[in-house]
Structure 1
Amino acid sequence: MSLVLTHARYQFLEVVRVPIAVIGSMLFPALSMIFFVVPNAGGDPVGATYATASTVTFAVMMTCLFQYGAGIAEDRAQPFEPYTRTLPAGPFPRFAGRLLTGLLTTLLSMVPIVAVAATLTEATTTPPRLLLAAGTLVVVSVPFTLMGLAIGYTLPSKAALAVAQVVFFPFAFGGGLMSAPGQAPGFVEAVAPFLPTRGSVELMWAAVAGYPVDPLAMAMLAVWIVATAALAVWGYRRDEGRRYT
């Protein structure tokens, strides 16, 4: 565990040494709140609460896809990454440290969203639901973390960044993150349950406001988790087999 924390500490320092990486992950979702949520739903307690939960899911997906997808692909091109795989401790401490760093970065990106929701909108929830939402945040990050790992271990850095960008916006729009529950265009409502973003945002809606989740969206979220986990494991083993055997 001490090795995991050591790797997490140094990886987090690597991230904050490029301040724009942290600022971007914190600023972009907050600006989305200010420009879209505040003027359109800020005065409606229910609408603002749902919109805040959607923005949180949006931020989680963005952070995980780019932190793991582009970050891992870039690290694979550095000489330190293969060196860590030759150490007696194995790759686990660095891998686990990366997950902790990503989780911490994700939590940091939530701070300005919550601040904007609390000060500029009528969004409301109870302390128990707020704690439930914090726990749900970890669950919601799972499919996007696995997706980022799959991208990072299967693609070179330039391709990984492009694929993360291509995946990000269709999943955000198609999953219904840009609209209130039940108010997305018809084709989005038809496609949304089959995307991991929909199941994730419904979990967040349920946590903060008691939204009744769609069983199909939950089933498809589980399918996405299993599929992306298998792809991430395959990508890691493929990368290890090509470079270290």
Structure 2
Amino acid sequence: MTSLALTHGRFQILEVFRIPIAVVGSAFWPAASMLAFVVPFVGDDPVYATYATVSMITFAVMNTNLFQYGVGVSEDRAQPWDPYVRTLPAGAAPRFLGRILAGLLMMVVSLVPVVVIAALFTEATMSTAAFLTAVVVCAAISVPFILMGLAIGYALPQKAALVVAQVLFLPLAFGGGLLTPPGGAPGFIAWLSPYLPTGGAARLMWATVGDFPFDLGATVALVGWTVALAGLAVLAYRRDEGRRFG
């Protein structure tokens, strides 16, 4: 199982890296947002620069997984190779795990420029313990967005999946408070933000790297989103399998 998953993961990584613009594109928006909004406005303030950096990290996690899985899965479903692989005796698990591995690598690719820009051009700072904790939290908050992408990818054809991913990512970023400092969102957004997956993820990251108070309600909402999106992803996968192989 492990060997097959690694093989599928390597194959999917090679597919992505054969199109360099796809790799550049996954890292562009978070890095561009850092340079456009963080560095010139809060780069000299250690507290706000740190919060803004982890907001952009959350943005990168959401953006990468939404497109990597939402659009990537729908593209694969349109290829003749996909139904063939799903009929093999090994089942869907190795390919699924390989996709997760490839997606995690692309997420790291999108995060590196954000961290480098923060280190070189801002006063963002955190302890080693906070940094290591933030890495673990970052992996945890990626789960609901992976599931969201999978639900979109298995439920929709390629063109529709691309449109839905494009429509979702900016409202989720703005509504979750990723483009404003903690406590700086407009009234309605400030009320809504904790209950969106992006808002819950951002608040968890803020509490990890700074003195932002832990928001239990936002974390519970994030867990609820994770469970709901897991159900949608499983339902979309089974529906697709039943329609194509039933």
TM over 0.5: yes
Correspondence list, 1:67-216, <5 A: 67-216=68-217
- Structure 2: state its 5+ residue gaps: none
CA distance in 1, matches of 2:213, 2:94: 39
Q: Secondary structure, in 3 states, of the residue corresponding to 1:122? A: coil
The residue type equivalent to 2:20 in the other structure is P
CA distance in 2, matches of 1:89, 1:167: 34
CA distance in 2, matches of 1:124, 1:59: 19
CA distance in 1, matches of 2:156, 2:224: 23
Count residues with an aligned counterpart: 245
Say if 2:75 is the partner of 1:50. no
CA distance in 2, matches of 1:132, 1:216: 21
Which structure 1 residue ranges, 4+ long, deviate > 2 Å from structure 2?
Answer: none
Equivalent residue for 2:232? 231
> How much has 1:47 moved relative to structure 2?
0.3
Equivalent residue for 2:221? 220
TM-score by length of 1: 0.98
Q: Secondary structure, in 3 states, of the residue corresponding to 1:183? A: coil
> How much has 1:31 moved relative to structure 2?
1.2
The residue type equivalent to 2:229 in the other structure is T
Which digits, 9 at most, give the CA deviation of each residue in 1:202-223, with x for residues without a partner?
Answer: 1111222242121211111111
Kindly indicate whether the alpha-carbon contact (under 8 Å) linking 2:204 and 2:215 is maintained by their aligned counterparts in 1: no
Q: Secondary structure, in 3 states, of the residue corresponding to 1:187? A: helix
CA distance in 1, matches of 2:205, 2:109: 17
Equivalent residue for 2:10? 9
CA distance in 1, matches of 2:36, 2:93: 41
TM-score by length of 2: 0.98
Which digits, 9 at most, give the CA deviation of each residue in 1:187-216, with x for residues without a partner?
Answer: 110111110001101111122224212121
- Structure 1: state its 5+ residue gaps: none
CA distance in 2, matches of 1:111, 1:215: 29
Q: Which moved more, 1:207-216 or 1:231-240?
A: 207-216
The residue type equivalent to 2:89 in the other structure is P
CA RMSD after TM alignment:
0.8
> How much has 1:84 moved relative to structure 2?
0.6
Percent identity for Structure 1 against Structure 2:
60
Q: Secondary structure, in 3 states, of the residue corresponding to 2:61? A: helix
CA distance in 1, matches of 2:194, 2:113: 28
